[in-house]
Structure 1
Amino acid sequence: MAAPSPAPKKRRDVAETLLGVLTCVLIALISVLESALVIPRIGRYGTSSFDKWCLNAQYIALIFMWFSLLGHEYVHRHERAWAKKSRRYGYTIQGLALALCAATNWGKGIWGAVIVAFLLLMVYSVWDAYMKALALHPEDQKVLDQIIEQKRQRAQERWEEEQRHRRAARLEEAAAQYGQDLAIDPSETKKPSVEWKIPSRKHQPLVYFIRNGNRVKIGTTTDLRRRVRTLALRPENVVLLEAGGMDRERDFHKRFEKYREGNTEWFRDLGELSAYITERVEEIRRQQAATRSGSADR
C-alpha cells in the first residue's frame, strides 16, 4: 500500500501560516492607525510637556498590553481557561483604546475610529480562525485537559505542603522566643501503629506501600525482605501490606494516579493516598488488637 500523500498536511500548514501572517499584518495596521489618530491629539489634554509624554506613554502601553495578551493566548492556547481570559482582557483593553481614539477625534469626524473598529472586527475573526486551526482534536483536548488539571493539582498540593512547613517553622521560631521548643512536624517522627512481619522467605504476592520521606512506593513482590533491602530502606519503612498481585497494584496506581511522580511507582504521600494508608493501618491495628484480646480471653 502506498504511503499517504503529505500534500494535505502541507496545504494545511500553508493555510495556518497565511492566517498567522494576515493576523500580524492586521494587528500592525490597527496599531499604526490608532497611534496616528490618537498620539497627535492626545497631547492637548496635558498642561506641560511631561503630561503629554505621560499620556502618550500610557496609550502606547495599552497597545503593548494587547500584544502581550495575544501572545499569552497563543502560547497557552491549549489551556482553554487561560486562553479565554487572555482574549477577553485583550479585547477589553483594545475597546478602551478604541474609545480613546474616538474621544480624541470627537468633532473632527469619527471615520478613523470606525475604520479601526472594522479592522478590529477583522482581526478578531481571523485570530479566532487561526486559533481554531491550531487547536487539537476535541478528544485529544480532553486528554490534555486532564493532564493540565493533574499538573495544577500537583502544583497546588506542593504549594500547600510548602505553606504548612513554613507555618510550622514560623511557629517554632516564635515559640522559641518564649522558651518553648516545638517539633516542626510531629507526624514525620511518629512511629507506625502497626509493625509488619516481614517474611524471611518467598511468599504469596503482596502489594507493599513503602514510605521514604514524603513519598510512598506502591509495588508488588514475592520477596519483601529482599525488596526492602534493594531499595536501601528498613523494614520500619513498610507502612502497609495488602494481599494481591499485579492487578491489585495496577488498581492502586490508577486510584492514586494524580499523586504519581512521572511514570515511576513513587507517589506523593498526600491527600487521598495518605488518608487511605491511615485508615487501613488503623483498621488493621484494631483487628490485631481484637485478635490479641480474644487469644488472651481463651
Structure 2
Amino acid sequence: MTTGTRPTGRLSVVADRIVCGLAWTMQAVAAATYTAVIVQPAGWRSMWATDPVNPICLWVFAAGMAGLWGISLWEEQKNFYDRRSQRLYRKSSLLGHISVLLVAALAAAAQPERIGLWVILAMFAFYATLTWSAWMRTRFLPPEDQAVIDAIHDREDQQAAAAHDASQKEQRRQRLSAIVNSLGYQLTDTPAGQSRKEASEQTNRWSVPAGKHAPLVYFISNGNRIKIGTSTELKRRIRTLALRAENIALLIDGDRRLERQLHDQFADLRIGNTEWFAYESPLTDFVADQNRSARKEQAK
C-alpha cells in the first residue's frame, strides 16, 4: 500500500491566507458597523441642536482614531517578528479601536434600540479582537528562533547607543578642550576609548567549548559595552546574541554566584537592569589582569 505525500507546506500557506483574510474581514466588518451607527442622524439630533461643534469634533476624532487603528494593524502585521514594535502597534490599534467603539456607543445611546446596538457593537468588537489575536499568534516564531531575532535587535540598539555615547563624549571632550585652551592650558588626558583598546590588545583568544560544559562566566564585548553572564552552552549563547567567538574578552570557571559577585563589583558601570556594562575602567583593568594571569598559567 502506498501513501501519497501531503503538501503540508502549501496547505500551511493556504491556511495562513484564510486566517489572514478572516482577521482583516472582521476588522472591516467591525469598522463598517461602527460607521453605520455613528452616521445615524438620530444619534446626534439632540447634541446637534445644543451645540454643533461637539458632534463635529467627535466625528473628526473617530475618523482619526480609525486611521490609527488601521495603520497600527498593518504595521503590526509587518513587524510581527519584532516583539517590542509588535506590542506597541497592538496597543495603538486597541486604542484606536476602542476610541471608535466608544463614539459609536455614544451615538447608539440616543437611539431607542440602544440595548440591541450595544450588544451588536460589543459582539463585533469581541470577534474582531479575537480573530486578530489568533492570527498574530500563528505568525509568532518559535521561542528559540525569536531569541535570535531579539538578540539582533538588542545588538542594533546597543550599537546605536554606543555610537550616541561616543558622539556625546567626543562633543563633551571638544567643549572641555576649548574651555581649557581658553584658560591657557592644554587637555592631555587619555581618551576613554584608549583603555578599551589597550584591554582588547591584552585579551586572549578564548576557545569556545562544544556542546554542554561546566558553568562558565563569560565577558563578551560589543562596541563600548560588555556583557557579564554565565552559561553551560557558550557556543549556543554566542549565537543567540548574534556575536562571534572573537568578541569573548574573558572566560572564568564559575556559576551564577560568581556572576552575581561580578555584577555587584561593577555595579557602577551597569547599564540599567541588564547584564551589560560600560566597558571602561575599572572593568577594563579587571579583564586585562585576568587575561595576564591566564597567559602566565598557560606559560607554566
TM-score with structure 1 length normalisation? 0.60
Show the counterpart of 1:32. 32
1:187 maps to which of 183, 186, 191: 191
Quick one: which amino acid aligns to residue 127 of structure 1? W
Q: Bigger CA drift: 155-164 or 16-25?
A: 155-164
Quick one: which amino acid aligns to residue 168 of structure 2? Q
Show the counterpart of 1:88. 91
Quick one: which amino acid aligns to residue 164 of structure 1? K
Tell me: CA distance 1:36–1:178, structure 2 relative to 1, closer, same or farther (3 Å). Answer: farther
Does the CA-based 8 Å contact 1:42-1:104 persist in structure 2? yes
Q: What is the alpha-carbon root mean square deviation over aligned residues? A: 4.4
Show the counterpart of 1:120. 125
Q: Distance in 2 between matches of 1:184 and 1:59?
A: 61
Deviation sequence 1:3-55 (CA, Å, 0-9, x none): x9461111111111011111222212222221222245558459787766544
Q: Distance in 1 between matches of 2:222 and 2:83?
A: 21
Show the counterpart of 2:60. 57
Deviation sequence 1:41-82 (CA, Å, 0-9, x none): 558459787766544222100011111222232222123243
Q: Report the structure number with the largest CA radius of gyration.
A: 1
The runs of 5 or more residues in structure 1 that have no matched partner are: 193-208, 217-238, 286-298
Does the CA-based 8 Å contact 2:105-2:118 persist in structure 1? yes
Q: Distance in 2 between matches of 1:107 and 1:273?
A: 64
Quick one: which amino acid aligns to residue 7 of structure 1? P
Q: Distance in 2 between matches of 1:104 and 1:165?
A: 58
Tell me: CA distance 1:102–1:51, structure 2 relative to 1, closer, same or farther (3 Å). Answer: closer
1:137 equivalenced with 2:99 (yes/no): no
Tell me: CA distance 1:46–1:97, structure 2 relative to 1, closer, same or farther (3 Å). Answer: farther
Does the CA-based 8 Å contact 1:46-1:52 persist in structure 2? no
Show the counterpart of 2:104. 101
Q: Residue 283 of structure 1: CA displacement?
A: 7.8
- TM alignment of 1:1-298, pairs within 5 A: 5=5, 7-39=7-39, 40=41, 41=43, 44-45=47-48, 53-108=56-111, 109-110=113-114, 111-172=116-177, 175=179, 179=183, 183=187, 186-187=190-191, 211=197, 239-240=201-202, 242=204, 248=206, 250=208, 255-256=219-220, 258-259=222-223, 271=277, 274-275=280-281, 277-281=284-288
Q: What SS does structure 1 have at the residue aligned with 2:191?
A: helix
Q: Distance in 2 between matches of 1:76 and 1:184?
A: 48
Does the CA-based 8 Å contact 2:76-2:85 persist in structure 1? yes
Quick one: which amino acid aligns to residue 31 of structure 1? A
Q: How much identity, in percent, do the aligned residues show?
A: 16
Q: Distance in 2 between matches of 1:262 and 1:181?
A: 45
Question: How many pairs align?
Answer: 236
Q: Distance in 2 between matches of 1:55 and 1:138?
A: 43
Tell me: CA distance 1:79–1:264, structure 2 relative to 1, closer, same or farther (3 Å). Answer: closer
Does the CA-based 8 Å contact 1:172-1:184 persist in structure 2? no
Q: Distance in 1 between matches of 2:30 and 2:189?
A: 58
Does the CA-based 8 Å contact 1:168-1:185 persist in structure 2? no
Q: Residue 150 of structure 1: CA displacement?
A: 3.1
Quick one: which amino acid aligns to residue 18 of structure 1? I
Q: Bigger CA drift: 266-275 or 58-67?
A: 266-275
Tell me: CA distance 1:75–1:33, structure 2 relative to 1, closer, same or farther (3 Å). Answer: same
Q: Residue 188 of structure 1: CA displacement?
A: 5.9
Quick one: which amino acid aligns to residue 139 of structure 1? E
Quick one: which amino acid aligns to residue 155 of structure 1? A
The runs of 5 or more residues in structure 2 that have no matched partner are: 210-217, 224-237, 250-275, 293-300
Q: What SS does structure 1 have at the residue aligned with 2:109?
A: coil
Q: Distance in 1 between matches of 2:35 and 2:6?
A: 44
TM-score with structure 2 length normalisation? 0.60
Deviation sequence 1:222-275 (CA, Å, 0-9, x none): xxxxxxxxxxxxxxxxx3264x6xxx2558xx7425449987787699956555
Tell me: CA distance 1:45–1:166, structure 2 relative to 1, closer, same or farther (3 Å). Answer: farther
Tell me: CA distance 1:278–1:5, structure 2 relative to 1, closer, same or farther (3 Å). Answer: farther
Q: Distance in 1 between matches of 2:183 and 2:50?
A: 63
Tell me: CA distance 1:153–1:115, structure 2 relative to 1, closer, same or farther (3 Å). Answer: same
